[in-house]
Structure 1
Amino acid sequence: MGKVSTFSPEQQADNTSSKVVAALERLSEAFRVLLWQEATQYGLSPIQIQVLTYLLHYPEEKRTVTSLASYFNMTKATISDAVKSLEQKKYLVRKASVTDTRSHSLQLVKEGKAIAKKVERFAQPLEDSVAQVPVKEQGVLLEQLMQLIYQLNQQEITTTQHMCFNCQYYSLKKGHYCSVMKSTLKQADLRLDCTHFDVRMEEA
């Protein structure tokens, strides 16, 4: 007899890991629902909202189709289609690189920044729910989720995230430790996307 499905209630009853996976799947459904609701309200697709939000917060050198594709684990073609649509809506423009004329950074125009600031609020209900969890437990939850993400990175299911566990400056010699900040990090101090990030040499 084959392995019982993770999504079988019978399997979940006595298998904690199956229940965790099912719970994560329910959370991903909530994320999708909120994203679709926001997309419908503003006449955008879910990926267009994610692109707008990304461009609102990340530095110019990371505002490229290649960076977006890596960040969202999508093909360049899919991201290019979303970018083209946002261009047609006059939310962004392409800016040629000074050093490489074949490369362009993506720049939000005034209207694009305005709509990005509106649509990025789609995840607020999720953040409000997390805020109800005691602060100390939020740190524990963050660490556990980052461990799961790290394992998926290691299996090459998702692209390497710019977080502590993938960074050459991070170590566990003194607890969670960052050699750039020269300090031990509490669980809540761990970063999922850090400006100091530099990939570990073995992953480069």
Structure 2
Amino acid sequence: MAKESTFNPEHQATNTASKVVAALERLSEAFRVLLWQEAKQHGISPIQVQILTYLLHYPDKFKTVTNLASHFNMTKATISDAIKSVESKGFLKRKEDVNDNRSHTLLLTREGKNIARKIEDFANPIQDSVNNLAPDKQAGLLEQLLYLIQDLNRNLVITPQRMCLNCRFYEQKGKLHYCNLVNAFLNAGDLRVDCPEFTVPV
């Protein structure tokens, strides 16, 4: 028997999981629309908006083609093409790795930092909507989204994220979250999507 389509409204009406997937699709559309609007306003592509925003905030050790490709679930070739375009606009420069001349750290120029600060607020309408939720609802939503991302990581749909649930130091004790790095229980709202201390499990 053929599996009913998630996108069939009649099927959705009686299937909660399908309604959740449909709702997530609407949210992804909202994100995509906001990204396109910002990109078009500045004459760059959506992925270039994301690259500039990433380079504005992440530590230098993560500012490489390899890390960008993993973060955005894209091939190195696709990321390299986008970086070349950003570089041609004068928004970034490459710093050669003294230990490996094939590797470069990608650094924003002054102009690159200026435009990155202008475009990084593209997701604010979504942020404002989330802020309208009560704090406990925000924490619960975060927790459930992280579980979904973790499952997608396990099924190799997207690359493993640098989040608490994937970290060497994370442990689930019953229904509680525990971090062995800080030796403390974490509330759902304390969980991180991208943690500076993230360590790959052994």
Secondary structure of the 1:23 match is: helix
Aligned length: 201
Residue matched to 2:24: 24
Question: Given residue 56 of structure 1, which amino acid in structure 2 is its aligned partner?
Answer: L
Residue matched to 1:183: 184
Question: Given residue 41 of structure 2, which amino acid in structure 1 is its aligned partner?
Answer: Q
Q: Quick one: distance in 2 between partners of 1:183 and 1:2?
A: 47
The alpha carbon displacement at 1:173 in A equals 2.1
Secondary structure of the 1:3 match is: coil
Over the matched positions of the two proteins, sequence identity in percent amounts to 60
Residue matched to 1:160: 160
Q: Give per-residue Cα distances to partners, 1:29-76, cap 9 Å, x unaligned.
A: 000000000000000100000000000011111100110000000011
Question: Given residue 178 of structure 2, which amino acid in structure 1 is its aligned partner?
Answer: Y
Q: Is residue 61 of structure 2 the alignment partner of residue 45 of structure 1?
A: no
Q: Quick one: distance in 2 between partners of 1:16 and 1:44?
A: 38
Moved runs in structure 1, 4+ residues, more than 6 A? none
TM-score by length of structure 2 reads: 0.98
Q: Is residue 10 of structure 2 the alignment partner of residue 15 of structure 1?
A: no
Question: Given residue 193 of structure 2, which amino acid in structure 1 is its aligned partner?
Answer: L
Residue matched to 2:142: 142
Runs (5+) with no aligned partner, structure 1: none
Instruction: Give the structure with the larger strand fraction.
Output: 2
Q: Quick one: distance in 2 between partners of 1:188 and 1:98?
A: 40
Q: Is residue 72 of structure 2 the alignment partner of residue 69 of structure 1?
A: no
Question: Given residue 3 of structure 2, which amino acid in structure 1 is its aligned partner?
Answer: K
Question: Given residue 8 of structure 2, which amino acid in structure 1 is its aligned partner?
Answer: S
Question: Given residue 41 of structure 1, which amino acid in structure 2 is its aligned partner?
Answer: Q
Please tell me the root mean square deviation across aligned C-alpha atoms, in Å.
0.8
TM-score by length of structure 1 reads: 0.97
Q: Is residue 174 of structure 2 the alignment partner of residue 199 of structure 1?
A: no
